[in-house]
Amino acid sequence: MGTILALDQGTSSSRSILFDKSGKILSSAQQEFKQIYPRPGWVEHNPSDLWASQIETARDALRQASVTAPDAIGITNQRETVILWDRTTGEPLHNAIVWQDRRTAPTIEQLKADGCEHIIREKTGLLLNPYFSAAKIAWLLDHTDGARARAERGELAAGTVDSFLLWKLTEGRVFTTDVTNASRTSLFNIHTLEWDKSLLELFRVPRALLPEVKPSGGLFAEHTLLGAPVTGMAGDQHAALFGQRCTEPGMAKNTYGTGCFILMQTGTQPVISRNRMLTTIAWQLEGQPVKYALEGSVFTAGAAIQWLRDGLGIIQNAAEINELAAQVPDSGGVTVVPAFTGLGAPHWNPEARGIITGLTCGSTAAHIARATLEAITCQSADVLRAMGADVGAPLKEIRVDGGASQSDLLMQMQADLLGIPVRRPTTIETTALGAACLAGLAEKAWALDRTFEPTSDDAKRKEIESRWQTAVSKT
């Protein structure tokens, strides 16, 4: 296979990256789009913006490489975001409701009060949270004129962003999603691999509204507007796990972005977490069993570095944190807990707020900078240790990607705290790479850039962990 085009539709921008058969990036294009905030806690996108930015970047990437059409297309996307559209015209009936949106919180709280969390956890591996798609779809049906009756008649379609892009690419001929995106809706039974009747009834979502579900790697559409078949599709974090070649149970990846998304592949049997990790589908290749994963999210990672820049003003740009933090050998006893929007897994404390402890007259901006990097590693370590406890085996290594993984200092600090190697690939665009791999790119596409071996002793590691846990208890 000559070239594969990865369409990477994210929360703030759409990207298209063209890979050759060895996994080398031939060209790329990116386009941001408007974020819409109708009310506090509400986040929307114009579906037309998502489509226009994605198709334009795709054509731009092909044009840059003088490629008329790729050999295949892989799609990866922001997860949980939902769109409702007309099956005849293809026109959206409402803005997309984004994964960050909290408008369905009252519905979720009522379901919790009704004792529904257990059945949802058992069937989907997810917690009851406004984050997931089901309540968003119900809200669209209840707040769009005539939508519920039309949905019952099969006149409307609702899906995650991947299914909308595929619909547009095939001019309405194909209405399909993959198992990873389906597994994030709270409507899909991850054991039977079907839309679950009892969950559809619980959330009041008609089955006629939803797409067909297929494996992540396989033929989705033979013909598209880009002149190539779509042969791979997965949610962004699942694609990154596949792109990191975490093909054996116990292998894990951490994407360091605004937050951190950590997934551990657990094999062909789902592991139900005792530590409030999410159980999710990792991926499925055509003709093969489903692979499952545990997932944990750190709410604030790169956002803490932005706070040092924009809130405290102690750095001018994100890259400066490395130079500043390197001026001191450790944090000098300073601990930062950047719980600006609460604490994620495994703490799950939405009421927690950020604190700085251990300040003395000798504390400097460098100590605060280093403590902020340390906080990112501590939050990630909390999740990874919880996953290790769930699977009954300690982690042997962690593979990393995302913008902040380019920081050698941060990656060394992570290796020191975990006491295991941290492996960074040459291509940190592993979400797009994973979509390309699912679409048929050779496995050899993953290549190691650098391994960060742990250098810290157990005493130092325990001192950092103790300070961190004490600080967390005060949030």
Q: Find the radius of gyration of the CA atoms of the chain.
A: 22
- Contacts made by residues 362-368, CB under 8 angstroms, sequence distance 24+: 362/332, 363/332, 363/334, 364/328, 364/332, 365/314, 365/324, 366/324, 366/325, 366/327, 366/328, 367/328, 367/331, 367/332, 367/334, 368/308, 368/312, 368/314, 368/334, 368/336
Counting runs of H as helices and runs of E as strands, what totals does the chain give?
15, 23
Q: Which two tokens stand for residue 207?
A: 């089955």
CA–centroid distance for 192 within its chain: 24
Element (H, E) at 106: helix 105-113
Residue 102's pLDDT is what? 84
| pLDDT score recorded for residue 473 | 84
C-beta neighbour count of 197 within 10 angstroms: 11
Tell me if 337 sits within 8 A of 354, measured CB to CB. yes
Question: Is the distance from CB of 219 to CB of 211 less than 8 angstroms?
Answer: no
Phi, psi (deg, nearest 5) at residue 457: -90, 170
- The Cβ of residue 274 has, within 10 Å, a number of other Cβ atoms equal to 10
209 residue type, one letter: L
Domains of the chain: 3-236 (3.30.420.40), 245-475 (3.30.420.40)
H helix or E strand, kind and range, residue 255: strand 252-256
Q: Give the Cα separation of 64 and 26 in Å (integer).
A: 8
The one-letter code for the residue type at 200 is L
| Token pair recorded at residue 154 | 């099969």
Q: What is the mean pLDDT of each run of 10 residues along the chain (475 residues)?
A: 89 91 90 88 92 97 94 94 94 91 88 92 90 94 91 93 96 96 96 96 94 95 93 94 92 88 93 89 94 89 84 85 90 88 76 87 91 92 90 89 89 93 90 91 77 89 89 84
Token representation of residue 192: 């039977």
The three state secondary structure string of 21-45 is CCCCEEEEEEEECCCECCCCCCCEE
Residue 373 sits at φ, ψ, to 5 deg, of -65, -40
Closest CA to 300 of 266, 259, 361: 259
Residue 98 Cα to chain centre, angstroms: 13
CA 372 and chain centroid, separation: 22
Amino acid 442: pLDDT = 65
Q: Which amino acid, one-letter code, is at 416?
A: D
- Evaluate whether 124 touches 156 at the Cβ level (below 8 Å): no
> What pLDDT sits at residue 41?
81
Measure the CA–CA gap between 405 and 368, rounded to whole angstroms. 20
